[in-house]
Amino acid sequence: MSDGSSWVGATARQISRAVRRGDVSATQVVADTIEQISISDPSLDAFRVVRAGEALSEAEKVDDQEDLANLPLAGVPVAVKENTAVAGLPTWCGSAAARKPVAEQDHEVVRRLRGAGAIVVGVTKMPEMGLWAVTDDGDGPTRNPWDRDRTPGGSSGGSAAAVAAGLVPMAQGNDGLGSIRIPAACCGLVGLKPGRGVIPAELGIDNWFGLVENGVLTTTVADAALGFAVLAGREPAKLVEPDRLRIGVSTRSPVVGVRPDEANLGAVATASKLLVEAGHDTVTADPPYPVSLGIRVLATWFASAYRESTELDRTRLQPRTRNHIRLGKWALRSGLTGQAPRDAFRERSIKFFADHHVDLLLTPALAAAPPLAEGLSTGSWRRNMSASMRYAPYAAPWNVAGLPAIVFPVGLRPDGLPLAVQLVGPPDSELLLLAVAGQFEVRNPWQRHAFG
């Protein structure tokens, strides 16, 4: 509990344990959450819709259950990203122009959250069609709780802002080219992108050529592990302290001409030192980032927008989105979006770990501070592309490779914004990534919420 009288700011594990023990009702927890959202969200604009009445009714049903022992998220308020179907709500996808009809049933990940006892209190905002690393729409930008002049990142920016502000302890997001990890880095959170096929991820037409994965954003590693287990359909398990690992360290950017700033270089140096203090070995090891990878990532990004817009009135979309779509039509015809090159990069990435004899890879999470929140939704396509690629180049390769990756905080920038690093692993290393992140959390505890 955050202050002895309200459950706002408590972790998911704290809430679920208290509800299962009967120390507090799910209804009280949700009532506290709804009240805090009404106070705080007007200055953040994290939520598209708040389900106040429905959430309280669903919390009462959790309280009425005789046996709560098998509900790992009993009474936990959660938020869901607005491109993920929640029964009874439209699936907004970042703007009224991209909105889909009212969903008749929940997406599978929402079903799993509810099945674990979680209460969906609302859906969170994202940029139009999830295309940008900043979260804004025609109503205005979503703001970073650490600095309201800055973006919380994208595309799961509303989810990240809601968690960082303490409005919910856990929020669902999805990650196509970094859309969980980038907001986690911007907002000082833990964000895990699972490997390919671990969590149900069907969204839109062919799921951005298979690049998108679902996950959660949380303030602690324990909550991240709990959310991962629920979404993956597994029994929650205690993380095991890892044996001595050999971890590759690289600050090389996947984007030619982009270099991390001093603060992000310092974050990697701090993380490397903490790894050694935890008993691991580090070695410089640059992963393969061929120029062709960047070209194919751009082509797939464009083509995904084109395919996802086939049933929309494109004239109502933002100018930056329409330009993306026009390039997507060309990209589909170019032959640059084929599956074979993505499979080849996946194999090359897996081979990287074997060739360098490393268990995990450490990189910066971002290359620069989060951009200013204002003006990007109405700005030019070129300005948006430059902003997204220059501050957040490190996430996308691991969607192409389909490998798991986690972002977590390591401190603060000189301007007070969070600093973070990324760890990447081979297939099926999600629990190892979480365990190593947990070692960081013990040795270098971070501030769980933004204040101010």
Task: Please identify every residue annotated as catalytic.
Answer: 81, 155, 179
The enclosing H or E element of 163 equals: helix 157-164
Q: Peptide bond before 380: cis, by omega within 30 degrees of 0?
A: no
Q: From start to end of 108-195, where are the E strands?
A: 119-124, 136-137, 140-141, 170-175, 190-193
Q: CB-hemisphere CA count at 13 Å for 367?
A: 22
Q: CB within 8 A of 436, min separation 6: which ones?
A: 242, 245, 275, 278, 280, 360, 423
- Alpha carbons within 13 A on the beta-carbon side of 149: 4
- Residue 203 backbone class (left: φ over 0; alpha: ψ -120 to 50; beta: rest): beta
The Cα 135–Cα 392 span in angstroms is 14
Residues 6+ apart with CB under 8 A from 284: 248, 249, 250
CB 69 within 8 A of CB 163: no
Structure token pair of residue 155: 């595309």
Structure-token pair, residue 212: 């998108």
CB 56 within 8 Å of CB 29: no
